[in-house]
Chains A and B, each alone.
Chain A
């Protein structure tokens, strides 16, 4: 989920203001893959279901992000960080999501600190280890 969000953010930064149609929504292949992860092995997902979920998750991300962005605008900050997202979830009434997201964010920061240390010690294999660790953390986040 973190990678998908990052991808969308980078695409928006590239365009610089004009929002293309394919940047308004998450990639449908990734949405389908996430939906498939929770279903049994032989289950199939129709294209209409994927498109509907694509609209829903994209709107939810925009909804939460606009709330966080409004908070940053009031506090005259330019960067929306993870704490702002957790605050926005709590403010909008998604309390059940805010607490697991704070734990995820806390664990994510711990992993980042550890990898900065590892990166200082070992400069050879750090990219692969970091990628594996991020993948494990992302997988664990989905399990929450």
Chain B
């Protein structure tokens, strides 16, 4: 009895135009005896009732008949499978859970049924406010209409234009979202990338490396540098020149590749401009020190610190230019950095 009440409650909600077409075809399929007169009598009041969104006395009689015809269908559903009952129970839960339940049903059905289910899912995704009730309403229709393949085929052709550009992705267990539709051109690429990321996650677990710094020697040097009361390095301006020299030494002694050292120098320059993330990466400091850095930065005053950083970065870039051309890659980045500094000054 509770399921019947749920069915009536679902029917009472306003459905979009497409669902009316679905319902009319369902109506034709179920009532073969009254094809001629009853369908013509019931279709007009049904459509006009939903179109005008008002129930009149004359049309209420017409509307009663579809409800009466709905009753045997519900009884058939209860007798046929337990799956419809589970679907009705899902309606009481969340909309997302209901959306997730429909997907396993598609696995059991044939390809045409899966496409039809995709159509109905698309319909539900288009109308978000009514998605919960539409899915609850559409699932019994799927069970009822399963034997009639011709109606599926005709129904699918009605929705062909909507599916042309989009393909539904298989759902992720981790994400609670509903089905996601993507560009058909990108479907295989996205699937491939998902597999690559999953493989990378496994590899990452096998070889887990959580280093707060990238280079051991730079980390040791940063630990040896004197720090002030707030945790920041002392003598920032002169130490920039020192860091430039250190870059040369590291480049010569350790034999690191040009690309890596250049990237590190660029990050250090960025930290002088004001980004704390590069500073954290370079120094390997703890979160407490980074918090104190923010505090000392605010206490010092934005304008003075800003201008000081610019002067320091300018000196740093000029020092590197004076040293001469290191190679093919370093000069364009430094020129770009200098350009950014000058833009910031203006």
Interface residues of A (CB under 8 A from B): 3, 6-7, 10-11, 14, 18-22, 24, 27-30, 32-33, 36-37, 41, 47, 50, 59, 62-63, 66-67, 70, 91-93, 127-128, 130-132, 134-135, 138
Residues facing A in B185-229 (CB within 8 A) are 185-186, 189-190, 192-193, 196, 200, 203-204, 207, 209-210, 214
Enumerate chain B residues within 8 angstroms of A132, measured Cβ to Cβ. Answer: 331-332, 335
A interface: dominant SS: helix
Bound-complex Cα distance A38 to B183 (A):
28
Bound-complex Cα distance A29 to B263 (A):
9
Question: Contacts A10-B259, A66-B193; is A18 near B203 (CB within 8 Å)?
Answer: yes
Q: Are A67 and B189 in contact (CB under 8 A)?
A: yes
Residues facing A in B267-319 (CB within 8 A) are 267, 270-271, 275-278
Q: Are A66 and B331 in contact (CB under 8 A)?
A: no
Give the residue of B260, B275, B331, B344 whose beta carbon is less than 8 angstroms from that of A41.
B344
Count how many pairs of residues, one from A and one from B, have CB atoms less than 8 Å apart in the complex: 92
Top 3 A-B pairs ranked by shortest CB distance? A29-B270, A135-B332, A93-B185
> How far, in Å, is B118 (CB) from chain A's closest CB?
20
Q: Are A91 and B331 in contact (CB under 8 A)?
A: no
Bound-complex Cα distance A91 to B333 (A):
32
Bound-complex Cα distance A67 to B186 (A):
9
Chain B contact residue count (CB 8 A cutoff)? 40
Interface residues of B (CB under 8 A from A): 183, 185-186, 189-190, 192-193, 196, 200, 203-204, 207, 209-210, 214, 257, 259-260, 263, 266-267, 270-271, 275-278, 325, 327-329, 331-333, 335-336, 340, 343-344, 346
Q: Are B209 and A93 in contact (CB under 8 A)?
A: no
Q: Other CB < 8 Å A-B pairs besides A33-B340, A41-B346, A62-B193, 17 of them?
A: A10-B257, A14-B260, A19-B200, A20-B209, A21-B209, A21-B210, A28-B275, A29-B277, A32-B275, A37-B340, A63-B189, A63-B190, A66-B193, A67-B189, A91-B185, A128-B331, A138-B332
Q: Are A7 and B263 in contact (CB under 8 A)?
A: yes
Bound-complex Cα distance A135 to B214 (A):
28
> How far, in Å, is A138 (CB) from chain B's closest CB?
7
Q: Are A24 and B209 in contact (CB under 8 A)?
A: no
Question: Contacts A10-B259, A41-B343, A128-B331; is A33 near B276 (CB within 8 Å)?
Answer: no
> How far, in Å, is A116 (CB) from chain B's closest CB?
14
Q: Are B259 and A11 in contact (CB under 8 A)?
A: yes
Q: Are B325 and A127 in contact (CB under 8 A)?
A: yes
Question: Contacts A19-B203, A24-B200, A30-B266; is A66 near B332 (CB within 8 Å)?
Answer: no
> How far, in Å, is B227 (CB) from chain A's closest CB?
22
Bound-complex Cα distance A11 to B200 (A):
16
For residue A28, which residue of chain B has the nearest CB?
Answer: B277
Q: Are B204 and A59 in contact (CB under 8 A)?
A: no
Enumerate chain A residues within 8 angstroms of B207, measured Cβ to Cβ. Answer: 18
Q: List 19 contacting pairs A-B, 8 Å CB cutoff, sorted by A.
A: A3-B329, A10-B257, A19-B204, A21-B204, A27-B266, A29-B267, A29-B270, A33-B340, A47-B275, A62-B196, A63-B186, A66-B189, A93-B183, A93-B186, A127-B325, A127-B328, A128-B331, A132-B331, A135-B335
Q: Are B257 and A14 in contact (CB under 8 A)?
A: yes
Give the residue of B192, B278, B328 whose beta carbon is less than 8 angstroms from that of A131.
B328
Enumerate chain B residues within 8 angstroms of A62, measured Cβ to Cβ. Answer: 193, 196
